Structure 1
Amino acid sequence: MPCKPLIGLNADFRAAARTTPAFAYIAEGYYKSIIKAGGVPILVPPQVDEPSAHRVLDAVDGFLFIGGADLDPRNDGFMLHPSVRPLDPGREASDRMLMAEIAERRMPVFGIGTGMQLINVQQGGNLFLHIKEDLPSAVPHYDVQDTNHRHTLDVVSDSLVGRVYGDGEIRVTSRHHMAIDEVAPGFRVTARCPDGVIEAIESEMIDWFAIGTQFHPESEAASALDIRIFEEFVDAVRDRLDHGDQTDTSDFQLVA
């Protein structure tokens, strides 16, 4: 039986309220998708220091960054827009700390929603803070009445997303008001909404499997094809395990 790699998943965090204690949590779709793809999910609550984060990453083989509220633009030198709903500060600090170490280790990583935006800003890209203002001709990417809001997608054929979805019209679940503006060096755009909003990025670095989707393949409304993104990710993690710590990852590089 093939080895089942251990996949870390960051947890969201909610502070204590008057009638409820503080708690870490994660939506079911993320860890269920990892299980279906052949991995073993390891849930990681926010870490408080770098030694703890390093120890977590010593124990897992790949990492999935989940979606959630918004990255605080002040952490990247930008002003806070009124539409921004910042992540819990502890979660964001932990996520950034983990992501920096993941990049240093070239550990396989998959970011969804806010997770994709985290990969992009940590690697030197930046974000539009509010699509309605920055890209006024864009179609709606968030519907407060429908958490499974969907729109079409244009994909680049010679990419992981292209391999997963193939040709023809594609519809994905989308719920975001921020989006990638400048793409980080070493990454390329592999899917957009027809309005131009970036919906997927992939690493072009031969020694690092890293992919991000702004859309949500773990959603309850996801199609049967969406699980294949998780399968590609878990396969890449498994390939890295099979090849040890070798830097040549051509067997699973994203660029065809």
Structure 2
Amino acid sequence: CVWEAGGVPVILTYPNSHGTVAEATKAIDALLMIGGPDLPVDYYGGSTYDLNGEQPMHTNRVEFDRQIFQSFLGTDKPILGICAGLQHINVIFGGTLYEDIPSQLPSHVDHGAYKGNVAIHPVEVDGNSLLGDIIDERDIPVNSTHHQGIRKLGENLKPTAWSSDGLIEAVEPVNGEGKFVAVQWHPELMQEDKRQIGLFRWMVEEAKN
């Protein structure tokens, strides 16, 4: 998707003796916070954990993602968060997560499962938001492969999309602290949908500027 949008993707790993977060921030023009396993529950004050036998995100990645995101906040470079990327951004801003949506937020909405069932459901997009400008529609179908999600919204974050059960599906900064959009779904798996590719085009165009 980054290629299709006109960018060149570079894979980042947590720094060692060969580099630092500051050097990585300087070297790249945009940041893509990708999906992955659940964040460790002690990272946001959770108490229970169940991911069908899967291990939580490694602490090295948790810490690196936090550092590189906060480093980017100090620049005017764009950030796009996807799935676990959205959840991590919310936690960085002081928010919390539903540790298991099916048991903690019973509803008629099927949110799928990590590495399991892929669900499709509609989300309502805030027209007065950056996401609304990018998507240019108010109701869109999205894919869903997660059992966790935003419970308490982080400070200085604005919710910009919701599923019908009230779960926050997208956020962006409220006061211009950083330049980012984060979504709970996986736009990279909906490449045939120009609205979803628009998220990557936004990131690449902002990076060029």
- TM category (shorter chain) comes to 0.7 to 0.9
How many Å apart are 1:235 and its aligned residue? 2.0
Given the superposition, is the C-alpha separation of residues 118 and 222 from structure 1 closer, same or farther in structure 2, using an over 3 Å criterion? farther
Alignment of 1:1-256 (within 5 A): 33-48=1-16, 52-83=20-51, 85-105=55-75, 107-143=77-113, 148-167=118-137, 169-206=139-176, 208-220=178-190, 223-239=193-209
Once residues 85 and 234 of structure 1 are traced to their aligned partners in structure 2, the CA distance between those partners, rounded to angstroms, is 33
Corresponding letter in the other structure for 1:120: N
8 Å Cα contact 2:127-2:138 kept in structure 1: no
Q: Following the alignment from structure 2 to structure 1, what is the Cα–Cα distance between the partners of residues 86 and 67?
A: 15
CA deviations on 1:196-248 (whole Å, 9 max, x unpaired) are 11111111223521110001100156522210111112222223xxxxxxxxx
Matched letter for residue 225 of structure 1: R
AA at the equivalent of 2:147: H
> 2:84 and 2:18 mapped to 1: Cα distance?
21
Larger radius of gyration: 1
Tell me the TM-score normalized by structure 1: 0.72
Contact 1:46 / 1:94 at 8 angstroms: preserved in 2? yes
- Paired residue secondary structure (1:42): coil
- Confirm or deny: 8 A CA contact 1:138 1:197 kept in the other structure: no
Aligned partners of 1:127 and 1:178 also within 8 Å = yes
Number of aligned residues = 207
Question: Which residues of structure 2 form unaligned runs of 5+?
Answer: none
- Verify the 8 A CA contact 1:148 1:220 in the aligned structure 2: no
Shift of 1:57: 1.0
Distance in 2 of aligned mates of 1:70 and 1:233: 25
TM-score, L = length of structure 2: 0.87
Q: Secondary structure at the match of 1:133?
A: helix
SS at 1:191's partner residue? Answer: strand
**CA-atom RMSD, angstroms?**
2.4
Structure number with higher relative contact order (C-alpha < 8 Å, ≥ 6 residues apart): 2
Q: Percent sequence identity over matched residues?
A: 29
